[in-house]
A and B are shown apart, each in its own frame.
Chain A
Amino acid sequence: MAEKHPNELELLSFVEEELSADERQEVAEHLVACRSCSQHVRRLEAGRGALRASPLLELPEERRREILAALPERREPRRSFRPLKRALVIAAPVAAAAALVGVFVLGGTQLGGGGDADEAAREGAATAAEMQAEAEDSGGVEEAAPEAAHAGELVRSVEGPAAEVVNLLRREGIPAVVDPGGSVTAQGALADVRAALLGRPAGDVAVYVR
């Protein structure tokens, strides 16, 4: 019996009670005869026990408040397309085409007095927005494309994360938000922002002032 050991996935399934009655019986018989496998099973159970007995850790209340207060403004994708993002290489022509179709349909139905024009135009815009979202890959939220065009004046690039930089500025009384591209925009005098960032090492979070 001990010659053919169950593999690690079978042992895990045994511990998690995911095997059929027959399979379970087979492994159980093997365990009686095999010290190595029964040790694996005991380790699996001990590791599971330690993890499941551990309490959830609580995010401190004041951190939660800070985090929520520091959430940036969000530009809604249907109303504005982010300029110069990588995804727009694909999305922009689609958006333009959709807009054209929208205008066309709108014009046509106004003449004919139909009621679906708005719906069609909205659908066109939504499709373009979805294309943009898809091009950005739903899982790739961690990639912040560099902001090529920014309305503000660049102060300097500092070490992130961006949300931390925002907190730092706010503690100095300077309103600040994280931009969609991952940079930070502060509202205030350039000198104040520069002073607030003095102690911050250089990094890849661009800080702009407006």
Chain B
Amino acid sequence: MDPDELLVRRAQRGERFAFEQLVERHEHRLYTLAARTLGSREDAADAVQEALVRAWLALPKFRGDARFSTWLYRIVVNAAHDVRAKRREPAAEEPPDPADPRDRFAEQELSGELQRALNGLDESYRVAVVLYDVLGCSYAEIAELTGVPEGTVKSRIFRGRGELAERLGTAVEETESKT
């Protein structure tokens, strides 16, 4: 059973408090998905806001065919795509701006490098690897929420991870021709 089910039903009936609890449960994952996809904290917060407004309005139509989190991720992916299109810019060259002093920790250094590497990937690869490796979605969930077959999802993860490793310089130096 989807652990969110009870809250979802109450939020569907219009209980804002239930929706707020759902937001609290998922906000950091949604924000991470948007931030890693967009490469900007500010844009990510805008995308999350837009997504949550859409989710709140569309909630009565949510039928529970997918897990609630999968449904939310899909809305965030779409909202992030729209925010990017509005900005009419490619992924920012800079890592997310550490505007929040609480985030200025050593571990953010790693994510700074990681973000630069992610920014270089095709958007569809970036979405796939973030959903799979950072948020722990299954191939089937990613296929459902991005609307492509599972084989395509796997291929995107394969290529996304591979390119990422090359950009991070952590993979082997020598690259040979295709398999």
Contact = CB atoms under 8 A, between A and B. Distances in A.
B27 interface: yes
Contacts of B133: 47-48, 51-52
Interface stretch (A69-77, A104-112, A114-122, A186-194): A69-77
B153 to A, nearest CB: 10
A52 B55 CA distance: 27
Interface string A53-74: 1111111100110111011101
Given A5-B179, A56-B32, A47 B53 contact: no
A48 B160 CA distance: 10
Given A57-B96, A59-B31, A141-B75, A43 B161 contact: yes
A26 interface: no
Given A40-B179, A67-B49, A161-B86, A51 B31 contact: no
Contacts of B160: 47
Interface residues of A, number: 59
Given A54-B36, A59-B48, A139-B147, 17 more contacts: A8-B155, A8-B159, A39-B171, A39-B176, A42-B165, A46-B165, A50-B165, A51-B130, A53-B110, A57-B35, A57-B103, A58-B100, A60-B45, A67-B52, A161-B50, A161-B82, A161-B83
17 contacts: A7-B179, A12-B154, A39-B176, A40-B179, A47-B163, A49-B170, A54-B114, A57-B36, A58-B31, A58-B100, A64-B24, A66-B49, A71-B52, A71-B56, A141-B78, A161-B46, A164-B49
**10 tightest A-B CB contacts, nearest first:** A47-B161, A51-B133, A46-B165, A59-B31, A133-B61, A141-B58, A43-B165, A5-B179, A47-B165, A43-B171
Interface of B: 14, 16, 19-20, 23-24, 27-32, 35-36, 41, 44-46, 48-50, 52-63, 65, 74-75, 78-79, 82-83, 86, 96, 100, 102-103, 107-108, 110-111, 114, 117, 129-130, 133-134, 147, 151, 154-155, 157-166, 168, 170-172, 174-179
